[in-house]
Structures are given as structure tokens and as C-alpha cells.
Amino acid sequence: MKLRLLLAEDDTDLREVLTEALIAEGFDVTSCENAEDALDTAKAQPFDLALLDVVMSGMTGIDALITLRRFQPNIGVIITTAFATVDIAVDAMKKGADEFLTKPFNLSALSVTLKRVHAARSPKENPNVESRDQVFSALSNPIRRAVVRQLKIHHKIKFMDLCRLVGIEDHTKFNFHLRQLLNSGLVTKGDNRVYTLTDFGRQVYTSMLQ
């Protein structure tokens, strides 16, 4: 299912470029040339995301953000501007922006940012009893807790580096512990035996191990 994106940008050329690029990235884009039109559109239909320019004729993107949140509280909002200052960025984040981007920005990076914001905004499913028990079992061992902590610190670690950081020389034994973490959904393994925490793993770390 395509993510529904509301775009408000008063620069005609940029609006067309963004619309075309984001459609190519798989978004369902509705574009507007000002904040007022964007709000009217958002009153009539739901959106997953909004990409709002700060400086537009009439209402600013930040002012529109406040109103937009009132009738679409779960929408992910990214504010953009070519005239970035710390004060503007802080103001946008205080008023509910999920992300603040300075123009010009890389279009591929923009797509990644939009999807990340949506993922963060999406409701998380509560793990069932069996999966909770599996998590508690996985974290009952100090070696596995140490692995999770190291992955939280370093983000991505190869198998041999992870062995060294945790202080385990027996690779067979260490593989067993990693399998428990993989099976519990806390850790994922990528190419070249690179291990990272899953989003669920980061949530568990914050709630149980921090």
C-alpha cells in the first residue's frame, strides 16, 4: 500500500520535481502551492505524511503544522526550508515536526527520511505472551545482554568484532547466544555476518536495559 503524502511547496519547479521523484519512489502524492490549500485538502482526506515548506505566501509551514496536528494527530510531518537557522529548527520541533530538512536535499535521502518518520509514527503491535517470554529468556543471560548493549553502542558489528567486544573466545558458544537473540527478534544478521539491533531490540533496550 502506497504511503499518502501531502506536499506544500510554493516553488512551482521544486514542487513538480518533488512530486515526480516521490511518486517514482512509491508515494501517493497530493501537492499544494500553499499551506491553506494543504490544510483544506487534509480536512477532506487522511494522509500518512506531510512535507511542508516553512516560507510560503500566507500561512507558514510551521503554523500549518499546528493546525494539521489537530485533525490528523498521527500524521508524520517533515518541515523543509532553504533558510535554516537553529531557532527555526527548534521552533518546528517544539511545535510537533518529526523532522527538519534544509534545502537542497538529496531526493533519495528524502524518501528514506519520509519512510523512517512513518515507521516511527506507526502504531507498534504488542508482543504476545509467547514472544515476551522468548525475549525475557533471551535477556536472562549476561552474555546476550552484553551483545545487545554493544550493538546499541556501535549499531553494526561483524561477528569477530562482536566476540572481541563481549569477551567470548568460544565461537560455537557465541553462535548459540546469537541464535537466541535472532530468534527472539531482538537482533538481525546482514551480509558478511554483520549484526544489528532490530527496531524492537532498540525498544527493549530502552525499556529494560538502559
The domain that holds 203 is classified in CATH as 1.10.10.10
Q: What is the mean pLDDT of residues 54-76?
A: 89
Domain boundary among 70, 88, 121: 121
- Does position 19 have pLDDT exceeding 50, yes or no? yes
Q: Pick 111 or 121 by higher pLDDT.
A: 111
State which residues form the domain around 61: 4-121
Cβ pair 81, 105 in contact under 8 A = no
Hey, what amino acid is at 152?
K
**How would you classify the pairing of strands 28-32 and 4-8?**
parallel
Q: Do residues 96 and 200 share a domain?
A: no
Stated pTM of the model: 0.58
- Mean pLDDT of all residues in the chain? 86
pLDDT band at residue 41 using 50, 70 and 90 as cut-offs: very high
Question: Nearest to residue 187, comparing CAs of 178, 57, 38?
Answer: 178
- Give the pLDDT of residue 101: 87
Q: Do residues 106 and 190 share a domain?
A: no
- Does position 129 have pLDDT exceeding 60, yes or no? no
- Does position 172 have pLDDT exceeding 50, yes or no? yes
- Does position 186 have pLDDT exceeding 50, yes or no? yes
Total domains in the chain come to: 2
Q: Do residues 92 and 29 share a domain?
A: yes
